[in-house]
């Protein structure tokens, strides 16, 4: 292996270029190849990595001998095609979320990866956002006791434009609850320590993209939803998503509640709050402020080692460090393809629940 890890970027859209920015500054790495059929995306990526060789097809990049690792950041519905070739190679693979958009593709990807010796890493960077990561660490260490409820609220702006408007269609993205929310389902599973067994969801396309048609086809991405997950251990999780609710300063709030206390992270303020419950057995009366809990803490959580904040508060940079170190040290991935599978299956179950107006068991989706 070369002194510097040589990276190939497959898919040079906005997220692919975000990966280039992170690789450029982390040290011990260089982008040597770029693959994308879209000339403007090629040019934009080359402006960030001017020494890279450009390929229109990912297979040419994989066969070039120019890379030790690849980052796959193509449109969601193309992941399965690119992964079939990438997983057959001996280079390390980092694949962006969501892993795929259909159950049959997820199963194929797992089979292709089963006997692979090179590293395969699932890109789910939200768990590396500093305040979110601290909430997870504290919660798993028992700071709130037994976890009973996890909730995530995201009130944000609509989907951004993409090349050929591919992110306007559920057929290409897997649907909003796959494309946007697989991150959140992974966070819920990570902190609870299990995968859900049942899903109930309600949602719709109420405001965004209603007047958008492309090649005569109406854009059909949901812009709001409530999703409730039930776990075998009795824990519950809820997602509150609104993509026309951008008025709040903190767009994302991650809450973990146990029998002893509560943890929350707030983005973009990057604050964390922590409080313990009152000892209700010794309470003698009610009063203003008595419900605020014991030992309340407010902390601003940032990681000063981050060299590139990007669009995810430094999370992509921190994940790239872990991916790089796993390659160099030949260790197992911290985020696996199985994490990618379960997060997508939950999203697919949520869409099925909305479409059919009922509770959906995960076994109906994955069996």
Q: The whole model's pTM is what?
A: 0.94
What pLDDT score does 286 carry?
A: 46
Take residue 133 and report the two structure tokens written for it: 């990561």
CATH-assigned architecture of domain 5-123+313-336 = 3-Layer(aba) Sandwich (3.40)
Nearest to 183 by CA among 367, 347, 8, 6: 347
The answer to whether the beta carbons of residues 51 and 42 sit under 8 Å apart is no
Q: What are phi and psi of 226, to 5 degrees?
A: -115, 135
Strands 294-300 and 271-276: antiparallel
HEC sequence for 196-221: EEEEEEEEECCCCCCCCEECCEECCC
From residue 162, how far is each of 173, 208, 314 by CA, in Å? Answer: 12, 15, 23
Per-residue pLDDT of the chain (367 residues; tens, 9 = 90+): 557 999 999 999 999 999 999 999 999 999 999 999 999 999 999 999 999 999 999 999 999 999 999 999 999 999 999 999 999 999 999 999 999 999 999 999 999 999 999 999 999 999 999 999 999 999 999 999 999 999 999 999 999 999 999 999 999 999 999 999 999 999 999 999 999 999 999 999 999 999 999 999 999 999 999 999 999 999 999 999 999 999 999 999 999 999 999 999 999 999 999 999 876 555 555 444 455 556 689 999 999 999 999 989 999 999 999 999 999 999 999 999 999 999 999 999 999 999 999 999 999 999 8
What pLDDT score does 288 carry?
A: 44
What pLDDT score does 280 carry?
A: 54
What pLDDT score does 184 carry?
A: 98
B/e letters for 21-51, b = 16+ CB within 10 Å, e = fewer, are bbbbebeebbbbbbbbeeeebbebbbebbee
What pLDDT score does 287 carry?
A: 47
Nearest to 124 by CA among 214, 196, 190, 28: 190
Strands 120-123 and 92-96: parallel
What pLDDT score does 294 carry?
A: 60
From residue 134, how far is each of 236, 271, 312 by CA, in Å? Answer: 21, 10, 15
What pLDDT score does 278 carry?
A: 77
The answer to whether the beta carbons of residues 319 and 77 sit under 8 Å apart is no
22 contacts: CB under 8 Å, gap ≥ 6: 308, 310, 316, 317, 320
Burial class for 316, CB neighbours closer than 10 Å (0-12, 13-18, 19+): buried
Sign of the alpha-carbon dihedral angle for 70, 76, 81, 87 = positive
Q: Classify domain 127-307+344-365 at the CATH class level.
A: alpha beta
Domain ranges of the chain: 5-123+313-336, 127-307+344-365
């Amino acid at each position: 292996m070369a002194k510097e890890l040589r990276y190939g970027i497959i898919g040079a859209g906005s997220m692919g270029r975000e990966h280039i920015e992170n690789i450029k500054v982390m040290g011990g790495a260089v982008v040597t190849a770029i693959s994308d059929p879209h000339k403007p995306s090629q040019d934009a990526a080359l402006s960030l990595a001017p020494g890279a060789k450009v390929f229109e097809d990912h297979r040419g990049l994989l066969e070039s001998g120019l890379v030790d690792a690849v980052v796959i950041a193509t449109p969601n519905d193309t992941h399965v095609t690119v992964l079939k070739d990438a997983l057959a190679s001996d280079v390390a693979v980092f694949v962006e979320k969501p892993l795929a958009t259909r159950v049959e593709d997820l199963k194929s990807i797992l089979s292709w990866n089963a006997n692979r010796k090179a590293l395969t890493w699932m890109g789910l960077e939200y768990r590396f956002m500093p305040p979110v990561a601290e909430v997870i660490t504290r919660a798993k260490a028992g700071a709130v006791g037994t976890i009973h409820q996890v909730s995530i609220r995201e009130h944000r702006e609509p989907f951004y434009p993409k090349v050929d408007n591919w992110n306007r269609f559920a057929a290409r993205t897997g649907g909003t609850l796959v494309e946007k929310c697989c991150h959140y389902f992974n966070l819920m599973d990570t902190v609870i320590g299990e995968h859900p067994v049942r899903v109930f969801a309600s949602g719709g396309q109420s405001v965004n993209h209603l007047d958008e048609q492309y090649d005569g086809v109406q854009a059909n991405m949901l812009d709001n939803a409530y999703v409730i997950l039930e776990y075998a251990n009795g824990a519950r999780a809820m997602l509150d998503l609104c993509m026309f609710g951008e008025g709040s300063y903190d767009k994302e709030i991650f809450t973990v509640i146990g029998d002893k206390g509560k943890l929350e992270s707030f983005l973009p303020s990057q604050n964390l709050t922590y409080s313990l419950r009152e000892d209700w057995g010794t309470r003698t009366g009610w009063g203003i402020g008595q419900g605020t809990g014991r030992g309340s803490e407010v902390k601003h959580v940032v990681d000063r080692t981050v060299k590139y904040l990007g669009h995810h508060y430094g999370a992509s940079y921190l994940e790239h460090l872990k991916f790089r170190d796993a390659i160099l040290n030949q260790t197992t991935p911290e985020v696996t393809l199985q994490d990618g599978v379960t997060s997508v299956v939950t999203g697919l179950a949520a869409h099925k629940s909305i479409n059919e107006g009922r509770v959906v068991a995960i076994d109906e989706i994955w069996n």
